[in-house]
Amino acid sequence: MILVDGREDEKLRVFLSTVKDALKNVTDERECAKRLAELVGNRLGGDCDNIEAEVDKELARVGTKVVLIGELRAGFGCHRALLYKYCADRVSAPGLSCRQGLTLVHVRAQLEELLDTSMS
């Protein structure tokens, strides 16, 4: 189980600070969504063929079944979507929702951008 807790997770707070710095001068919603996706992909991405093994190694390294998201160095699409959502909510980036393994990033009310969180 992945826990997202900005009060307890120092590594998550550091990552969020990095995100805020990277996005502070970005005014275009599409560019903001793209940059945030890139940051999240760099943080929790990896070789898709080995991602399950990477996640299993992370869980074994941490030694518990409840892991703070900031402790992960690799993650599945759902982990990346969760981290994207957490950061987007805190930096006023375009919101998102998940459908059938894809994350839909809402850029303005009339547009939707697809973000495939299974790829990194």
Task: Give 41-95 pLDDT, tens digit per residue.
Answer: 999 876 656 667 766 777 777 777 777 888 887 887 878 888 888 888 888 766 5
Higher pLDDT, 42 or 108: 42
Question: Region 97-113: what's the mean pLDDT?
Answer: 48
Tokens of residue 62, six digits: 């941490």
Question: Region 10-18: what's the mean pLDDT?
Answer: 95
pTM exceeds 0.75 = no
The C-alpha atoms of residue 81 and residue 57 are separated, in whole angstroms, by 20
What is the predicted pLDDT for the residue at 8? 87
Q: How far is CA 104 from CA 13, 82, 98, in A?
A: 24, 12, 6
Q: What angle separates helix 29-44 from helix 10-23, to the nearest 10 degrees?
A: 150
Instruction: Choose from 4-8, 12-16, 89-93 the range with maximum mean pLDDT.
Output: 12-16
Q: What percent of the chain has pLDDT over 70?
A: 68
